[in-house]
A and B are shown apart, each in its own frame.
Chain A
Amino acid sequence: DAGVTQSPTHLIKTRGQQVTLRCSPKSGHDTVSWYQQALGQGPQFIFQYYEEEERQRGNFPDRFSGHQFPNYSSELNVNALLLGDSALYLCASSLETGEVHEQYFGPGTRLTVT
Chain B
Amino acid sequence: AQSVSQHNHHVILSEAASLELGCNYSYGGTVNLFWYVQYPGQHLQLLLKYFSGDPLVKGIKGFEAEFIKSKFSFNLRKPSVQWSDTAEYFCAVNQRGTYKYIFGTGTRLKVLA
Seen from chain A, the residues whose Cβ lies within 8 Å of a Cβ on chain B are 4, 31, 33, 35, 40-45, 48, 55-56, 58, 90, 92, 99-108
Which residues of chain B are near A41, meaning CB under 8 Å?
A: 105-106
Q: For the complex, count residues of B whose C-beta is within 8 A of A.
A: 24
Q: For the complex, what is the distance from the CA of A112 to the CA of B101, rounded to whole Å?
A: 24
Q: For the complex, what is the distance from the CA of A48 to the CA of B98, rounded to whole Å?
A: 10
In the complex with contacts A42-B105, A102-B46, A105-B43, A33-B99 CB distance below 8 A: yes
In the complex with contacts A42-B90, A106-B43, A108-B43, A99-B51 CB distance below 8 A: yes
Partner of A100, one of B45, B51, B90, B102: B51
Question: Whole-angstrom distance from the CB of A83 to the nearest CB of chain B?
Answer: 21
B99 contacts A48, C-beta separation under 8 Å: yes
Q: Does B49 contact A (CB under 8 A)?
A: yes
Q: Does B100 contact A (CB under 8 A)?
A: yes
